[in-house]
Structure 1
């Protein structure tokens, strides 16, 4: 078809091309205007202490701010948090999920949580509950994990200490490593005394020192084979003790983060405002009208295809007027 054909078709189908978009826009306008009034409230979250700092923190590095905002947004709409807030406020879970919106403030770690709903008295409590539950969801779990690690490390230390006690009870000797070292030192001192007594001609004292040296050597011979097993138990207890110390430090850091994420300290909720229907119309009507125009164009094309069946002289359905006139001649 030539341009004149398209224009002719458009003029002929003008009611459809205008009517469908206008009807779609009118329907969208009526839906917005007749829908119940909604109210919105925004909670501002500013928790710089949670971002960056030591590497042990949950959100550290160059992308810490973006990661925090993304994690908070995911937490605020997670099934667990939604269910908790629904139980706290009595608002339907689907309404909570549809009404919450989280936005980052610029490129900072600060963010806003906006909740929109039909009940004016509940939007503020919902926003506050969502913020608190999301922060708790993010950081309380770290405290729980750290607490479990401390408990596990403490159990390892207790078990290692018990093994040492059982070993000492079985072998009837306490702290054999220290006893072995003390015996070696005593033996060295007795050898020095033996040499001094022999040099002084005191054979009796020298013989007594010799006997004492022999007794110490027997003790050393008894303890020597047992030391490796005992020292292995000591090493295990030391490793467990170090692990416990690290776990306790991790728990302290997690608790510090949890304290820094206290909703009462890092968040503030603004005033409740009626959601502007004019803004909603501006956001809704143009896209709906555009979709209606597209549908109208497709409908006109379909009608033209149906109205003009092909014939041996017409050629393609979309042949030009000149081609049809030539064929008729």
Structure 2
């Protein structure tokens, strides 16, 4: 009888709804196979958030190619998932894994607008300097070179000859600034919808010197320029304030003009590719360009 009673009690317990248990709660989603940490920069006295997605396979003898992604809070997740999917298919597809490093800020949203405006833009030459400005693109370039890259290289096996920088909008402006002023910092550069209009196009003032100086560069670099064709309205597209601003910034025309200016370097110092994206606006250009970035990052460098 006692054994029967215990059996019945146990069965009842197993079949009773768990009413007393704590209700299931929604939890913040976790990004698979990725890690993050904060870095307090001694150069800019600014805290950055670093995101890393590393391949699951052992690194080759030369190390993994590395993709550094600006606006990491916004752009890292999709690229990390792409890299992870490619990693899982690598045996069948022969695709080479990529180490993806996102550089962002310790914020809940996608962007820290004030911080990126200081980090990604050079000190203005033709417009008034903001009174609260504390740093500029040159300072942030030092953060990457002197603090972030060594931190990544100490933790992961890195192919120093294949490191790519990817930036969009102000991040694209920064990417081009590094290319023109410190070209040896990376082997590949991807500038999506770069804000060439900024500071009265002052970025373009460095192009003639960059094109004319072909000495002292040990390897040929690669550049992918992209822009959405919807970023520059046609003359008959209407006259509201936003349309007028887009027309004034000439996003498509600026990118095309820069690409043309860089053509004398093809096959010598820099191989450039232009990606014009039909129907894409400023935000969509970042997503479409992201689909090309991983393949771009694994390409071998040329002497």
* TM-score in same-fold range (> 0.5): no
Bin of the TM-score, shorter chain as denominator length: under 0.3
**Which structure has greater strand proportion?**
2
Greater relative CO, 1 or 2 (CA 8 Å, sep 6+): 1
Q: Give the number of the structure whose alpha-carbon radius of gyration is greater.
A: 1
TM-score, normalised relative to structure 1: 0.18
TM-score, normalised relative to structure 2: 0.19
